Amino acid sequence: MTPTRRTLLAALAAVGTLVSATACQGGSGSSGSSGATGTYTFWDPYPQFDASSAWGRRVTACGTQAGVKLKRTAYDTTDLGNKALLAAQQGNAPDVMLVDNPVVSTLVEAGILNKTADLGIDTSSIQKNVIGAGTLDGAAYGVPIGANTLALYYNKKILTAAGVDPASVRDWATLTAALKKVKAAGKKGITFSAINTEEGSFQFLPWFWGAGGDLTKLDSADGVAALSLWKGWVEQGYAPKDVLQNTQTTSWQEFATGEYAFSENGTWQLGNAGKAGFPYGIISIPGRDGGAAPVPTGGEFVTVPVQKDSARYDVSKKIVTCLTSPSNLLATDTTLMYVAPTKSVQGEQVAKNPGLKPWVAAVAAARGRTSGGLGTKYPVISQPLWTAVQSALSGGKDAGAALATAQSSAEKGKG
């Protein structure tokens, strides 16, 4: 059944901001297109970048290259999604729009976005798992500007003092053993975000998937194992109780104090890591029984909303192609601290910054949160999931009971 407008708005609100390194207020500006004046409209979720920034200049240059003036308006991620839905209903959607990848399926369900194939946009060079976050029923509805994801940062000084070799962390058992040694040495173990928003689900997913969990079966034994791991860390003092309130930003700030051995965080913290004042390293988040756990992809897609005047699509295609061309992606993804969505540009990134190598590997193994046919069902699953994490870590319920409630809520929400 097609979701109602109210359901779609709720789904958009549930997705939240994941990938922005800085929490900022949205920008302002008029929506709609004004083809008669040669002006095209462009919306993005980067209010932290003004017109004079590298990103702002890139947007302007792509408009110039397409032969038009490109009027850019920046909103925070959730606000942008809501405004996109309303603008499309009013017939004044922007010509080109950059949206967080979980939002794509919701906008497609509402009939707002064009298929890239219908526009003649080539996506063959994009990594399949990255473009999968914006693909429904085999059709892509945008082009990823880049991707980011999660890994474990570690404080080399603390691990050395505790007698922990980072290479020894291969699975959950060895990670927990490392945390035990760190605590015994008088330091703090691991910090992450378990907040009751999409950020909490985003950070829990590597552990959930790393146990073999399935988002359509939240209360499986695998899911219970993952939540029990986090709950045990908090109860044993390996992770602080304030993970319940931590955003990814405040979690990073804890790690930046130099008191924690590990931090689960993203590519977007690389710049801050270099300023932390202590030596650090990066390892993949381990799966329960070894190997790298699947991690969720973050990042945005350049999309073309449906317009009454289809003649505008030719210019919109030029703008999308400019923003996502290999020659521009390297500079853009460096600015945004993203891993490029193509192997060729990834190679250039690693050549210039070898520190990106583990992140390229992480993105290659990542999954889209809405992939696997979940689409607009994902927000309906994610909210009960982060609620279960909160309930278990606060001590309100054991992991099994919390996830049983989550599964029941998700099933009702999909009805």
CATH number at residue 114: 3.40.190.10
76 inside domain: yes
Domain count, the chain: 2
Q: Which residues are within 8 A (CB) of 88 and not within 5 positions of it... i.e. 6 or more apart? A: 107, 110, 111, 112, 305, 306
What's the domain range around 137? 5-147+298-364
Residues 133, 167: one domain?
A: no
Whole-angstrom distance, CA of residue 23 vs CA of residue 26:
10
116 inside domain: yes
Contact 184, 233 (CB under 8 A): no
Q: At 139, which helix (H) or strand (E)?
A: strand 139-140
Residues 87, 113: one domain?
A: yes
260 inside domain: yes
Residues of the chain with pLDDT below 70 are 1-37, 414-415
**pLDDT value, residue 160:** 98
Residues 192, 261: one domain?
A: yes
Residues 29, 80: one domain?
A: yes
Residues 76, 11: one domain?
A: yes
371 inside domain: no
9 inside domain: yes
Which tens digits make up the pLDDT trace of 227-261? Answer: 999 999 999 999 999 999 999 999 999 999 999 99
369 inside domain: no
Residues 142, 19: one domain?
A: yes
Whole-angstrom distance, CA of residue 185 vs CA of residue 280:
18
CA 11 to chain centre: 16
**pLDDT value, residue 34:** 43
Helices (H), ranges, 211-337? 221-235, 248-256, 270-273, 313-324, 326-336
Residues 392, 275: one domain?
A: yes
265 bridge partner residues? 151
10 inside domain: yes
Residues 23, 101: one domain?
A: yes
What backbone phi and psi angles, to 5 degrees, belong to 153? -80, 145
**pLDDT value, residue 414:** 65
190 inside domain: yes
Residues 261-271 as b or e (16 or more Cβ within 10 Å = b): bbbbbbbbbbe
What backbone phi and psi angles, to 5 degrees, belong to 262? -135, 155
- Collapsed DSSP state (helix, strand, coil) of residue 305: strand
Helices (H), ranges, 101-235? 101-109, 116-119, 128-131, 156-161, 172-184, 198-210, 221-235
Which tens digits make up the pLDDT trace of 252-301? Answer: 999 999 999 999 999 989 889 999 999 999 999 999 999 999 999 989 99
Residues 160, 231: one domain?
A: yes
Residues 285, 355: one domain?
A: no
SS3 content of the chain, % helix, strand, coil (to 5): 50, 15, 35
Residues 112, 258: one domain?
A: no
What backbone phi and psi angles, to 5 degrees, belong to 73? -130, 130
Q: Residue 271 to residues 23, 179, 252, 309, 323: CA-CA distances in angstroms?
A: 16, 26, 12, 43, 23
Whole-angstrom distance, CA of residue 392 vs CA of residue 217:
17
Whole-angstrom distance, CA of residue 286 vs CA of residue 177:
13
Q: Match 């979980």 to its residue by tokens.
A: 102
Q: Which residues are within 8 A (CB) of 217 and not within 5 positions of it... i.e. 6 or more apart? A: 223, 407
Residues 28, 154: one domain?
A: no
